[in-house]
C-alpha cells in the first residue's frame, strides 16, 4: 500500500472518516512502538477538541500486580499484557454514542501504570480517536476492537529513528541507558516486528517523516 505523506495537522483534515448510521465515527491509529502514534492522534483531536475525543489503547495495560501474577512483568507491552477484550468492550460502548459521559482509562507514564476513569468522552464527541500497537492484530479481543473502527491508519517511520526515540523515552522515565537499550532489544523490537507485519491490513498508511514528531 502506498503511503500518504502528511507534514502537519492541517493535512489530516481531508482524511478523517465521517459519522455513519447515526453513530460517532471511530478512527484507529496504529504503528510500532515509537512510531509517533500519540503525536498524530493528539493532532487529530486538536483539529476540533470539542468534537474529537481520544481513548488510547495503553489505558488497557494490565497493572504490574496482575502481570507479576501471570509471570509477564518482564514482557510488559506485549499483546498478552493488555486487556484486549476490555478494550473492545469500551469501544463498543463508545460506538453506540451514549447520552452520558463515558470515562475511559489512561496510562500514566510517570507511574508506568494504567489509571482508571481518567479520560472523559462527552456525548457531543462525533469522532473517537484511539491509538496503539495492536489494533490490526488478528487475535481474539483485538479483532473485536478492529471491527468497531471505521478506519485504521498505519504510521510509518524509519526503524533507526524509532529505536532512538524508544531508548530516549525509557531513559526519561527512569531506566539507565544500558537498561533502556536492553529493553528495546528484548521487548520493544519484537513487538515492533509483530506490529509491522500488520501494515497491509490498514486502510491508510501515513508517511510522517517530514513531520517533527515528539
> How are beta strands 151-156 and 113-121 bridged, if at all?
unpaired
Domain ranges of the chain: 22-207
pLDDT at position 214: 53
Given a cut of 90, is residue 121 above it in pLDDT? yes
Read off the pLDDT of each residue in 181-204 and give the average, rounded to a whole number.
Answer: 91
Instruction: Confirm if 118 and 7 have CB atoms less than 8 A apart.
Output: no
Q: What are the pLDDT digits (tens) for 23-73?
A: 799 999 999 988 889 999 999 999 999 999 999 999 999 999 999 999 999
pLDDT at 98: 87
**Grid-cell match 506485549, residue found:** 78
Task: Identify which of 58, 126, 49 has the alpha carbon closest to the alpha carbon of residue 90.
Answer: 58
**What is the model's pLDDT at position 160?**
85
The confidence band for 77, taking pLDDT boundaries of 50, 70 and 90, is: confident
Arithmetic mean of pLDDT over the chain? 91
- 3-state secondary structure labels for all residues of 26-65: EEEEECCCCCCHHHHHHHHHHCCCCCEEECCHHHHECCHH
Q: Give pLDDT, residue 20.
A: 64
Local structure of 140: helix, strand or coil: coil
Q: How much is the average pLDDT of 109-129?
A: 92
Q: Which of 62-71, 173-182, 189-198, 202-211 has the highest mean pLDDT?
A: 62-71
Q: Which residue has the higher pLDDT, 187 or 140?
A: 140
pTM for this structure? 0.89
Question: pLDDT value at position 213?
Answer: 61
As a whole number of Å, the CA-based R_g of the chain is: 17
Enter the CATH code of domain 22-207: 3.40.50.300
Residue 194 has pLDDT above 70, yes or no: yes
Long-range contacts of 185-189 (CB under 8 A, 24+ apart): 187/74, 187/75, 187/76, 187/77, 187/78, 188/33, 188/34, 188/77, 188/163, 189/163
SS3 123: coil
Q: Using the 8-state DSSP alphabet, how is residue 183 labeled?
A: H
Give the model confidence (pLDDT) of 130-139 as tens digits.
999 999 999 9
Residues 6+ positions from 104 with CB-CB distance below 8 Å: 55, 59, 90, 94, 117, 118, 119, 120, 121
Do residues 26 and 19 make contact, with C-beta atoms less than 8 angstroms apart?
Answer: no
**Confidence label for 90 from pLDDT (cuts 50, 70 and 90):** very high
Residue percentage of the chain with pLDDT more than 90: 67
Amino acid at each position: 500500500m502506498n503511503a500518504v505523506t502528511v507534514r502537519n495537522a492541517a493535512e489530516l483534515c481531508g482524511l478523517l472518516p465521517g459519522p455513519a448510521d447515526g453513530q460517532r465515527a471511530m478512527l484507529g491509529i496504529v504503528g510500532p512502538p515509537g512510531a509517533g502514534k500519540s503525536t498524530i492522534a493528539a493532532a487529530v483531536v486538536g483539529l476540533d477538541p470539542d468534537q474529537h475525543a481520544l481513548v488510547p489503547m495503553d489505558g488497557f495495560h494490565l497493572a504490574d500486580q496482575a502481570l507479576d501474577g501471570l509471570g509477564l512483568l518482564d514482557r510488559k507491552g506485549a499483546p498478552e499484557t493488555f486487556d484486549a477484550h476490555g478494550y473492545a468492550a469500551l469501544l463498543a460502548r463508545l460506538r453506540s454514542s451514549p447520552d452520558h459521559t463515558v470515562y475511559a482509562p489512561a496510562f500514566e507514564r510517570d507511574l508506568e501504570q494504567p489509571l482508571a476513569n481518567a479520560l472523559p468522552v462527552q456525548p457531543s464527541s462525533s469522532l473517537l480517536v484511539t491509538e496503539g500497537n495492536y489494533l490490526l492484530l488478528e487475535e481474539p479481543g483485538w479483532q473485536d476492537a478492529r471491527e468497531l473502527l471505521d478506519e485504521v491508519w498505519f504510521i510509518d517511520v524509519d526503524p533507526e529513528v524509532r529505536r532512538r526515540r524508544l531508548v530516549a523515552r525509557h531513559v526519561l522515565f527512569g531506566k539507565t541507558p544500558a537498561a533502556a537499550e536492553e529493553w528495546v532489544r528484548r521487548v520493544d523490537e519484537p513487538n515492533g516486528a509483530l506490529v509491522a507485519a500488520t501494515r497491509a491490513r490498514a486502510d491508510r498508511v501515513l508517511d510522517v517523516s517530514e513531520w517533527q514528531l515528539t
